[in-house]
Structure 1
C-alpha cells in the first residue's frame, strides 16, 4: 500500500513564523483570525492577513449565531516552495464555520513542496467546523499540510477533507508526487496538554498508474473526517459506520481514547468520485449539526 496512516508521537518540525509588517522569507500568505462572542453571536475580535491569503466578509447561515468565514487565495493555486500560515483562535463560547472559496489546487512543485501550516486554539465551550473544498493535486505536485489543534475538554471540532488527483484534457490522470496531511490534536487539562491524536496521512501514487491496485485499493479519491467532542462515543462511531455504508465508497471509522471527558472519531473513505465523498461527509456532519445544535445540513454552494 502506498497510502499510509500513522498515529503516534513525533517531533515538532514545523517551526514558527512571527507576525509582522512583512512576510517572512518563503511565506507567501498569512492569515490570523480570532473569534469571540458579542451581542449573542460570534464575531471577529482579531483579523489580520498578509500576502496571498485573506477572508471574505463574514456571514451567518442561520439564527444560531455561528459566524461563517471564507478563506481566499487570490493567486488561485499553490506552487513549489509556497508556504501559507493560518492561525485561528475561537474563544470561549464562540462558534466558527471556516471554509474556502474554491478548491485548493496544487500545481507542479519543482525544487520543493508547497505547504500549509495551521494552528487552531479552541476555548471553553467553543466550536469549529473546518469545511474546505477539495484539495486537487496535479501532475508532479508535492504538498504538505500540518495542523496543530489545541482544545478545551468542552470544545468541539469537526474537520472534513477530500483529496483528488487533477486530470488532463484527454482524460488521463495527472500523477502527483505526494500529499502529506498531519493533524496533531491536544486537549488542555488541569494537568497540562495531553495528546489526543497524532494523525499522519501519506498518499504517494505509484509512477506507472495513479489508480492501480495496491494504491488506495484501486480508488483515486480520499475523504477524511475528524470529530472531537465530549459527546463522541462508541455508539456515535457505530452510527456513522452505518451511515457511510449507503455510499459507493470504502470507509473505515475509528475511535480515539478519552482524555478529560472528550474523545475523537477519525473516518477515512476511498472512492472514485469527489461528489460521492462530499455527499458522504455531508451526511455525517449533517447528523452532528442537527443532533447537537439543531442546525440544518450545510449547503455551501459558492456559484
Structure 2
C-alpha cells in the first residue's frame, strides 16, 4: 500500500515542489534538473519492490500554471502473484494553464498469476502539454512460457477543463487477458509479447504530426498504429500503440517519438535518465 501527492509550481524561473506528501510504500527522490529549461525531474520509488495482491497505490500530481515536470520511476513496476484480489494503481494528474508534464516510467512487468488494474484520470487546461509513455512486459515464468499473468486492465480518462466546463477528450481502455492455451502465435497480440503506448495531448497535435510519428516508427522492430483523439477547446491528442518482442526496442521507439516532440516544441534534448 502507498500514497503519494506532489504539486509543482514556479519559483525564480524554475519549477519546484510547492507541496509533497507520502506514506506507505511510496517515496520520491530529491529533485534534479536535466537542463536549463527550468523543468524539474522527480523519481518515484517503491521501497517494497513490487505490487502484491490487494495492494492499492494512489498517486496525485498537480502541475500548476506555467510549471514543467518530468516524472519517472527508479525501476520497473513489478506485479507479482495476486491471489485473492488484484493489485491496483490510481493515478490522478492535473495540469494548469501553460503547464508541461512528461510521464516516463520504467516498464510494467506482470509475472505469473498476476492481476493488475491501473486507473489514470487526467484533467488539463487547453494550453497545457502532456506526453506520457508506458511499456508492458511479461515477466519470467518457471516453465519459460510467456503470458502467465492473469489480466491487465489499464484505463486512461482525459478531460479538458476550461471556463468552468469539462469536456471528454479521450477514454483509452487497454485490456490484456491471456487465454489458457498457448498464446505464442497469431491471434493474440499478433504473436508479439510486449506493448508500448504513447499518449500526447497538445494544441499542436494534428494529422500531420500523427503521420510523421508513424513514419518515424517504421525504422523500429515493432508493429505500430497511431490514432487521433477528439478536439476539445482547440486541443487535440493522439495515441500511439506498438507491439514488439523487446522492452529495449519499445523504449527506443517511444524515446525517438518523445525526442522529436521535446526538440520541436520545447527546444530540449532527448531524455537521458541514466538510472543504470
TM-score range, shorter chain: over 0.9
Look up the match of 1:278: 251
What residue is the counterpart of 2:235 in the other structure? 262
Q: Partner of 1:234 in structure 2?
A: 207
Q: Gaps spanning 5+ residues in structure 2: where? A: none
Alignment of 1:1-303 (within 5 A): 28-168=1-141, 171-173=144-146, 175-190=148-163, 192-303=165-276
Quote the offset at 1:167 in angstroms.
Answer: 1.4
> What is the alpha-carbon distance in structure 2 between the residues aligned to residue 170 and residue 299 of structure 1?
35
Distance 1:202 1:135 in 2: 14
CA distance in 1, matches of 2:169, 2:7: 24
Q: How big is the shift at 1:210? A: 4.0
Shift of 1:205: 1.1
Deviations 1:152-191 (A, max 9, x none): 0000010100001001366433500011111000001226
Q: Which runs of 5+ in 1 are unaligned?
A: 1-27
Using structure 2 for the length normalisation, give the TM-score: 0.98
- Greater RCO (CA < 8 Å, at least 6 residues apart): 1
Count of aligned residue pairs for this structure pair:
276
Q: Runs ≥4 in structure 1, deviation > 6 angstroms?
A: none
**C-alpha contact 2:3 2:26 (8 A) present in aligned 1:** yes
SS of the equivalent of 2:159 reads strand
Aligned pair in 2 of structure 1 residues 29, 200: CA closer, same or farther (>3 Å)? Answer: same
Residue by residue over 1:180-236, the C-alpha shift from the partner in whole angstroms, topping out at 9 and shown as x without a partner, is 111000001226100000111101111122433211001000000000001101110
Are the counterparts in 1 of residues 146 and 193 from structure 2 also a CA contact under 8 Å?
no
Q: Distance in 2 between matches of 1:226 and 1:196?
A: 12
The TM-score normalised by the length of structure 1 is 0.89
Query: How far apart in 1 are the matches of 2:74 and 2:143?
Result: 27
The two structures, once aligned, show a CA RMSD in angstroms of 1.0
